[in-house]
């Protein structure tokens, strides 16, 4: 039979390859890896779509997340984009903010860059547990609001939030610095063992702080004016 494409036998594609093509290709590849990593985490950690913030579950989830993120290379923009992908659930089956936050924290902690800026102002959901175990020498700046357990278990480093954070901010942090430009919620610094929390707006309530400092609008509110947990101002 005659080749129906015979007329095109000598055609050579004339389209130029421009850097945009490889940028997009590599971005798609990385995003796919990040997404698969997240799905893997969910598969192993989340039973029946329920995940509770407990000491063990958080550590277990983070250990797995660490393992996953070490397998591929990515950049800070990839992390930001992943946050937005989580928001739309087109490509990702479901968002469970706990494991998502742990995963994103692992991504931040193991990113090549020492300074990471995440512009999350337009995110519809608020990410919990961001900044978990942020190590020394790492700086993460977030534009937008975050959820609960922000900066939980920080080991050094600096976490900046241009917006609000919710409850249990800085819980269990060992060292490092958290700056929140607006307000934070209750149980701030719960079991905090070191480090500093700076809040530009209001602190709704302090938790059981072991050590460290909390500032509200540049004034030290802990330890100078120690207050019982959940006392409202």
Partner 1 sequence: MTQDHYREKIRGIHDFIKENLYFNRPDLEIKGEKFNSALIFSLLTGLNKGKELIIGEPGLGKTTSAEYVGSLLYRIPIAIIWGAEVSGHPEQTEEKIIGRPDLGKLNKGTEEVVWSHFAQIPVKIVDEINRLPETKQSMILDGVDRGNWEYLNEMIINEEYCLFATANYQDRGTNTIIAPMIDRFDVVIESRHPGPNIAYLVGKFNEKDRILRNSKAENSIHKILKSKLSYQTKLRQMEEVCDDYGEFLKKKLGIETVGLRDRKAIHAAISRLELDLDANAFTRMLLAELSFCYKYGQKRSIENCEEGCHFTGYLCHDTTNCASNRLPTSIKTYSQALAWMIGDTVVGVEHIKAIMPYTLAHRIQWREEYLSNKERNKRDNPFQIYLAKDAVKSIFNRYGEQSEHLKSALAVGYRLFKGEDLEPVDGDHPVYFEIKRDLGLED
Partner 2 sequence: MVPEEIIKKIWPKVRRKHLFPEMPIPKVSEGTENVALEMKDKQITINTAFSDKIAHKMGFEEVVEALLDHGISHYTYCPWDFHTHLRLFTEAKQVVKDKEQAKRAAGLFMDVVADTYCVKGKKTPLPELYKHIDKGKVDAVIASLYQRIWGIDLCAKEDEEVVRRLARIPYLDKKQWDKSIQKFARVIKALLEVEEEEHRQEGNQANPMGEHGLDGYTLEEIDQGLRDFANQNVGLKEFKETFEDFKDELKDIGYGMEGGMGRGEGTPLDADLIYYMKLAENYSIPIKKVPMEKRGFLNPHSHCPWEIGRPFQDVDVWTSFGKIMPGITQTWNKIEGSTFGERESVPDCIIIIDSSGSMTNPRKNLSYTVLGAACASDAYLRNDAKVAVYNFSDAPMGGKTILSFTSERAKIYGVLCKYFGGGTAFNLNELDPLLEAAKEPDIFIITDMKITNLGKVIGYFNNINNRVTAVYIGENTYALRFREAMEKKKNMSFYNVTKKEDIPKIVLGKIKEYFRGNL
Q: Which residues sit at the interface with partner 1, rule CB under 8 A?
A: 3-9, 11-15
Q: Taking CB under 8 A as the rule, does residue 139 contact partner 2?
A: no
Residue among 8, 12, 19, 47 that touches partner 2 (CB under 8 A)? 19
Smallest CA-to-CA distance from 213 within 173, 184, 165, 185 is with 173
Q: Computed over its alpha carbons, how large is the radius of gyration of the chain?
A: 22
CB of 15 to partner 2, least distance (A): 6
Contacting range for partner 2; rule: CB under 8 A; set: 16-24, 36-44, 193-201, 213-221: 16-24
Contacts 24+ apart (CB under 8 A), 160-165: 163/121, 164/201
Residue among 46, 81, 181, 191 that touches partner 2 (CB under 8 A)? 81
Q: Taking CB under 8 A as the rule, does residue 136 contact partner 2?
A: no
With contact defined as beta carbons under 8 Å apart, do 162 and 198 qualify? no
CB of 32 to partner 2, least distance (A): 14
With contact defined as beta carbons under 8 Å apart, do 116 and 93 qualify? no
Residue among 119, 139, 182, 227 that touches partner 2 (CB under 8 A)? 119
Q: What is the footprint of partner 2 within residues 151-210 (CB under 8 A)?
A: none
Token pair 């579950």 in the structure block, residue: 57
Contacting range for partner 2; rule: CB under 8 A; set: 15-23, 147-155, 160-168, 208-216: 15-23
Pairing of strands 211-216, 193-199: parallel
Residue 162 C-alpha from the chain's centroid: 14
Size of the site for partner 2 (CB under 8 A): 18
Q: CA-to-CA distance for 76 and 98, rounded, in angstroms?
A: 20
Partner touching 49 among partner 2, partner 1, none, CB below 5 to 8 Å by kind: none
CA atoms within 13 A on the CB side of 126: 14
User: End-to-end CA distance of the chain, in Å?
Assistant: 86
CB of 2 to partner 1, least distance (A): 10
Q: What is the footprint of partner 2 within residues 23-62 (CB under 8 A)?
A: 23-24, 27
Q: Taking CB under 8 A as the rule, does residue 218 contact partner 2?
A: no
With contact defined as beta carbons under 8 Å apart, do 192 and 207 qualify? yes
- State which residue, 31 or 193, has the beta carbon closest to partner 2: 31
- Interface residues toward partner 2, by CB under 8 A: 14-16, 18-20, 23-24, 27, 77, 80-81, 84, 88, 117, 119, 121-122
């Amino acid at each position: 039979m005659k080749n129906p494409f015979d007329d095109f036998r000598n055609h050579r594609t004339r389209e130029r390859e421009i850097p945009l093509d490889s940028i997009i290709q590599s971005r798609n590849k990385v995003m796919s890896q990040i997404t698969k990593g997240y799905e893997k985490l969910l598969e192993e950690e989340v039973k029946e779509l329920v995940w509770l913030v407990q000491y063990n579950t958080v550590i277990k989830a983070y250990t797995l997340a660490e393992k996953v993120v070490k397998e591929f290379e990515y950049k800070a923009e990839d992390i930001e984009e992943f946050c937005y992908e989580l928001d739309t659930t087109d490509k990702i089956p479901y968002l469970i903010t706990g494991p998502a936050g742990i995963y994103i924290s692992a991504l931040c902690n193991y990113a090549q860059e020492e300074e990471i800026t995440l512009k999350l102002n337009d995110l519809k959901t608020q990410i919990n547990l961001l900044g978990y175990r942020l190590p020394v020498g790492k700086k993460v700046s977030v534009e937008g609001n975050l959820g609960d357990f922000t900066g939980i278990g920080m080991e050094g480093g600096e976490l900046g939030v241009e917006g609000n954070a919710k409850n249990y901010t800085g819980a269990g942090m060992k060292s490092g610095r958290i700056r929140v430009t607006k307000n934070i919620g209750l149980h701030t610094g719960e079991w905090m063992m070191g480090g500093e929390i700076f809040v530009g707006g209001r602190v709704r309530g302090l938790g059981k702080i072991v050590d460290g400092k909390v500032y509200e609008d540049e004034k030290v509110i802990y330890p100078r004016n120690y207050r019982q947990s959940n006392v409202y101002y």
